[in-house]
Amino acid sequence: MGIFDVLVQIGRVIYIARGRERGKLAVIVNVVDGNRALVDGPGLKRQMINFKNMLLTKMTLKITHYDKTKAIIAAWEKANINELWSKTKMAQSRRRSALRAKMSDFDRFKLMKAKQARNRILKRELERVKILHKRSKRAEKKEKQSINKLNLKPNECVELFFFWFNITDAVTEFSFTRVIPVRVKKEYFFHWTFLQRVKMLTKAEGRASLLHILKKLRQLQKSAAYQEAESQCGNDMLKRVQLIYPLVIRAEMNAVTDYGFTASFSGLSKYMHEIYALSGEDKEVERLMSEVRSMIFPELPLPDATAALPL
């Protein structure tokens, strides 16, 4: 409803706020001039009232300026004005004001104590909601952090990959759900959240996924980036970890996405956990897994034992 929708008009229901008829409802029958209106209603004689002494409501009646009191009362009862008025905010406010006016000092004291108790409850609940909101925001912020977005140095990459391989070998009873990196004194510590293991791969899917990974790794070995990295590494294991292992991990991540795992460290760790669990049940899975491991960790030539040692 707009600001000028409640107008002084014939049929507008009003509330008399001041004067001898204070507290009664009436309806405007006619407008006398710019200051007064002719009003009528049940329990009220037809009379002129100043606009300053009335409050306009949102209710109207379909009447004309020549209708008599009997017709106005009939229209009033047909529109059920009294019931509609009792539901308005203006009527409720008037009832509260009348109730407060009748209160004694002790009643006002009891009301004050009740409000204080209510405010304490509201404040306590508000603080609880704020704490829960902060915790949820903090958890969302931690979950959004990803290892792929970290600017790790080469030596930090080495520590990260060795940590990842060790943790996947050691844990066989739980599955990874998320990883949260926290930087403390230029070192990364990874806090893993574990849940009870839920079987996600069948034996057939495990074999197929390992064959798919082998295919991806063979394609990777033929790529120019892999061959260039291998030529730079030679027999240096540290350089292999820095240059070749990131390519291998990325290829494995891309391969496991076809089997319902995400292309991330978390998804790959879940996949490795499933494969380790299946390797104890299926010999073919164990054989394929050892073949994949041999491609990731190839046997490096040892130095010649018969070579002359420096004196």
Q: What average pLDDT does the segment 142-155 reach?
A: 54
Are 221 and 247 members of one domain? yes
Range of 142-146, 203-207, 241-245, 306-310 with top mean pLDDT: 203-207
What is the b/e burial string over 96-135, where b = at least 16 CB atoms within 10 angstroms of the residue's CB?
eeeeeeeeeeeeeeeeeeeeeeeeeeeeeeeeeeeeeeee
Distances in Å between the Cα of 268 and the Cα atoms of 97, 209, 254, 303 are 69, 12, 9, 35
Calpha distance 67→8 (Å, rounded): 18
Q: What CATH number corresponds to the domain at position 37?
A: 2.30.30.30
Are 209 and 261 members of one domain? yes
184 in any annotated domain: no
Are 73 and 50 members of one domain? yes
148 in any annotated domain: no
Q: What average pLDDT does the segment 224-228 reach?
A: 82
Q: What is the rounded radius of gyration, in angstroms, for the C-alpha atoms of the chain?
A: 42
Q: Does the pLDDT value for residue 307 go beyond 50?
A: no
Q: Does the pLDDT value for residue 212 go beyond 80?
A: yes
Are 25 and 68 members of one domain? yes
Lowest mean pLDDT among 10-14, 49-53, 280-284: 280-284
- Residue 56 forms beta bridges with which residues? 14
213 in any annotated domain: yes
Query: Token digits for 30?
Result: 């006619």
278 in any annotated domain: yes
If you search the block for the tokens 């070998």, which residue do you land on?
169
pTM of the model: 0.39
Q: What average pLDDT does the segment 237-241 reach?
A: 73
Q: Does the pLDDT value for residue 294 go beyond 50?
A: yes
**Predicted confidence band of residue 73 (pLDDT cuts 50, 70, 90):** very high
Are 40 and 94 members of one domain? yes
- Residue 30 forms beta bridges with which residues? 38
What is the b/e burial string over 174-204, where b = at least 16 CB atoms within 10 angstroms of the residue's CB?
ebbebbebeeeeeeeeeeeeeeeeeebbeee
36 in any annotated domain: yes
59 in any annotated domain: yes
Q: Does the pLDDT value for residue 98 go beyond 80?
A: yes
If you search the block for the tokens 């049929």, which residue do you land on?
11
**Predicted confidence band of residue 274 (pLDDT cuts 50, 70, 90):** confident
Are 95 and 112 members of one domain? no
Asked whether the beta carbons of 193 and 263 are under 8 A apart, the reply is: no
Are 55 and 119 members of one domain? no
272 in any annotated domain: yes
Domain final residue pick, 82, 100, 118: 100
Q: What average pLDDT does the segment 137-164 reach?
A: 54
Are 42 and 112 members of one domain? no
Structural domain total, the chain: 3
Calpha distance 61→85 (Å, rounded): 13
Dihedral in degrees, nearest 10, Cα atoms 55, 60, 65, 66: -130
Are 279 and 211 members of one domain? yes
Percent of the chain with pLDDT over 70: 75
Lowest mean pLDDT among 126-130, 171-175, 235-239, 253-257: 171-175
Are 117 and 77 members of one domain? no
51 in any annotated domain: yes
Domain final residue pick, 100, 130, 149: 100
Are 68 and 82 members of one domain? yes
Calpha distance 14→24 (Å, rounded): 9
The residue range of the domain holding 109 is 103-138
Of residues 22 and 275, more confidently modeled: 22
Q: Mean pLDDT score of the chain, rounded to an integer?
A: 76
Calpha distance 273→280 (Å, rounded): 12
Query: Token digits for 197?
Result: 């293991």
Are 48 and 118 members of one domain? no
